[in-house]
């Protein structure tokens, strides 16, 4: 159970967060450009591809036609997917948890194709491939 002091501290943190940055005013999915578009209280609109956000990776356009904004304006909820995004994290460029973001980055890095990477892979193959792991005793 939360005591009155903790509740007061939480309310103070929330008030500070609301005063320190913009909040979501509207949110919609734009089928024409395949983006979730969030209009902020500052007058700026932010748009992103749904598959770049945790919980929306496999969303179909029909899953995104209903978007709810939390009363504080700091949360975006997609009821058809039961997915939530935190606006301050989105504005900082974080579209999911650290673990999820690291996994996505690893997938991109591992699948990256460039002439330099292909040349390095061929050179490594000529030398016998990746060296065996050495275990310290």
Q: What is the CATH number of the domain that holds 80?
A: 3.30.2020.40
pLDDT for res 16: 75
Burial (Cβ within 10 Å: 0-12, 13-18, ≥19) of residue 53 = buried
pLDDT of residue 2: 80
Does any domain span residue 132? no
The pLDDT score that the predictor gives to residue 128 is: 75
Q: Is residue 5 part of a domain?
A: no
Give me the residues of the chain with pLDDT under 50, please: 100
Domain with 79, as residue range(s), is 18-126
Determine contact, residues 96/83, Cβ cutoff 8 Å.
no
pLDDT value for 119: 79
Residue 54 included in any domain: yes
The tokens for 49 are 């591809």
Is residue 1 situated within a structural domain?
no
Give me the DSSP letters along 64-85.
GS--EE-TTSSEEEETTTTEEE
* pLDDT given at position 27: 97
The string of pLDDT tens digits covering residues 62-102 is 999 999 999 989 999 999 999 999 998 888 776 555 554 55
If one counts the domains in the chain, the total is 1
Let me know if residue 60 belongs to a domain.
yes
The pLDDT of residue 9 is 87
pLDDT of residue 56: 93
Statement: the pTM of the whole predicted model exceeds 0.85: no
E runs forming strands in the chain: 24-30, 35-40, 45-48, 68-69, 75-78, 83-86
Specify if 2 maps to a domain. no
In a domain, 103, yes or no: yes
The reply to whether 35 falls in a domain is yes
CB distance 35 to 51 below 8 Å = no
């Amino acid at each position: 159970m939360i005591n009155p002091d903790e509740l007061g501290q939480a309310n103070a943190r929330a008030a500070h967060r609301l005063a320190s940055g913009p909040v979501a005013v509207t949110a919609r999915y734009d089928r024409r450009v395949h983006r979730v578009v969030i209009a902020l209280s500052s007058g700026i609109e932010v748009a992103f591809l749904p598959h770049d956000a945790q919980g929306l990776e496999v969303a179909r356009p029909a899953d995104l036609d209903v978007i709810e904004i939390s009363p504080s304006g700091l949360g975006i909820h997609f009821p058809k997917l039961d997915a939530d995004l935190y606006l301050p994290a989105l504005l900082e460029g974080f579209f999911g948890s650290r673990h999820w973001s690291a996994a996505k980055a690893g997938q991109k890095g591992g699948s990256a194709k460039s002439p330099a990477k292909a040349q390095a892979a061929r050179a490594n193959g000529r030398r016998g491939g990746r060296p065996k792991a050495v275990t310290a005793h």
